[in-house]
Chains A and B, each alone.
Chain A
């Protein structure tokens, strides 16, 4: 792989390096990251669809005799200030968190696909105008644009979805436009137009499906990002109302207790990070497979 590598790095015996290399190869063959990611995602999906399969406790039942308890065998993620079981709250919060993430990704993708296709298929004037518009929206960091939306429309799950969706759309729109331009200039589109196919037919049969294919991966990666953005907003106290056990709302609720009960912040955060990492890992794997298929 590397051609210009120093012959021998100091301190490493050739023998031990060979052993390490073999072990590394074995580990790679198992694809532990991918397996772990798939398992994590499966678990999260089950939690979203049928939370009661994973926990028998209620996320809202208050137990004032067991407030702010550290993680133990009885409460594996600990309890909050009202003695509610954090594990049950995380599990039951999954569905709403995923829905917010899915909603934001769907909105962002629809905006991006409309703008990207419009820019990629129209003449220079429209393309230039859309590019300028995207450049302007880029000047606003996602989180600040989201804050402005929350200020104007008030905090709610819908605002969260709209704010994150609009904020992340410009990046995807540029990507879609690039895809459309690449497909539009490709040999098979030229061939189709030489064969006398009408322009709408070429768009429908060739440009649309081929420009959309790589987006499958982008959507996967985007879902992880959306959930992270939405939870950042929630962390600032600008998400769904606190009693709901949504992941971001759990973060917001635990913020005041961080010096006394670290698990209230660390566990929901870890869940979000695990979800984002799992989705990203699978997305990248799909990307590699897709690129490999294209080269063949």
Chain B
């Protein structure tokens, strides 16, 4: 992550004696810099999305007409003209690009080819359950990763091997497959959870686990590495020498250091969870963006798919920004510039 490097560079020049005054302007400058960077990445992401759309082989108006009628035929100029006018395909590429970026600045993601509704409305209708699933999964993944690290890291060979073995396997499991296994075992055979479309709390458990277990494996691997390094530090020995219990040493001292690398990954994790949610929603027949997205992709509804992709890129950028800014709070060494 370049973000962490930037923070170190911008705060390292603060002289400790004048730290109080300079760190305020330093912080403001840092936040401004990060904000500008985030806007830049978003703009570039929008540009990439636009040009992927623009390279579409063949005529977009024909694609839309054929979608409406369910046939694949060549269209005459007279048929194509009104569609071209409506979606602005007659304009130059540059004009279309300006229109697209301009629309984005006030939350207009275009009109769905298939459903003929604004993409923003379609997303807003469906985003709720997906957001709930994503956030639940993130919390659950952190809980699993932390418990696993505290319980197994550096606790003798066999226990450590079991813990890290679980993490390796979990991190490599494809979400669809884990979802199917959970569905078959816990919903179909044991009947503990609804088989499909459960919208209540009981319907949330299996999809959230489907997303959380692989992520927990990943976060756990990163945290464990750091945790084991920290446990060898002198301040840990000194805490133990003061008579602190092993559990306290682990939770109060070591954990605080060990979670840092994994926290920087949370922005990435949110993006990954969002795309994982598409799979989980399909396995468990849950309402949400996933169903919309897969339907739109197979119907080749470009504005809808790129709208969702832009939304997720936005979530990623904002989450990374927050993580960068929050880093100073979790790790005061960076804020004071005295490392």
> What residues of chain A have their CB less than 8 Å away from a CB belonging to chain B?
1-6, 9, 20-21, 24, 131-133, 135-145, 147-155, 224, 228, 231-232, 235-238, 251, 255, 258-259, 262, 265-266, 269-270, 272-273, 276-277, 280
Contact = CB atoms under 8 A, between A and B. Distances in A.
A280 B40 CA distance: 36
B305 A147 contact: yes
Interface string B167-178: 011001111110
Interface residues of B, number: 65
Interface string B273-292: 01110110011000000000
B78 interface: no
B156 interface: yes
B216 interface: no
Contacts of B237: 4
Contact of A144 (B40, B168, B177, B274): B274
Contact of A258 (B174, B180, B274): B180
Contacts of B274: 141, 144
18 contacts: A2-B156, A139-B316, A141-B272, A141-B312, A143-B278, A144-B308, A148-B49, A148-B52, A151-B302, A151-B305, A152-B52, A224-B172, A235-B176, A237-B294, A258-B180, A262-B180, A269-B177, A276-B174
A232 B44 contact: no
A264 to B, nearest CB: 10
Nearest to A276: B172
A236 B302 contact: no
Contact of B172 (A3, A154, A277): A277
Contacts, number: 158
Which residue, of A24, A148, A155, A224, has the highest number of chain B Cβ atoms within 10 A?
A148
B302 A152 contact: yes
B317 interface: yes
B329 interface: no
Given A135-B41, A144-B308, A147-B293, A232 B175 contact: yes
Contact of B184 (A149, A231, A262): A262
Contact of B52 (A142, A149, A228, A262): A149
Given A142-B275, A143-B278, A269-B176, 9 more contacts: A4-B231, A5-B154, A132-B40, A135-B41, A143-B279, A148-B309, A235-B282, A236-B279, A262-B188
B180 A139 contact: no
Given A236-B294, A238-B298, A6 B45 contact: no
A276 B184 CA distance: 22
Interface of B: 2, 40-42, 44-45, 48-49, 52-53, 55-57, 154-158, 160, 168-169, 172-177, 180-181, 183-184, 188, 195, 231-232, 236-237, 240, 246, 268, 271-272, 274-276, 278-279, 282-283, 293-294, 296-298, 300-302, 305-306, 308-309, 312-313, 316-317
Contact of B271 (A1, A141, A155, A237): A141
Contact of A148 (B272, B283, B306): B306
Nearest to A281: B168
B80 to A, nearest CB: 19
Contacts of A232: 174-176, 279
A73 B330 CA distance: 58
A144 B55 CA distance: 18
B110 to A, nearest CB: 13
B236 A135 contact: no
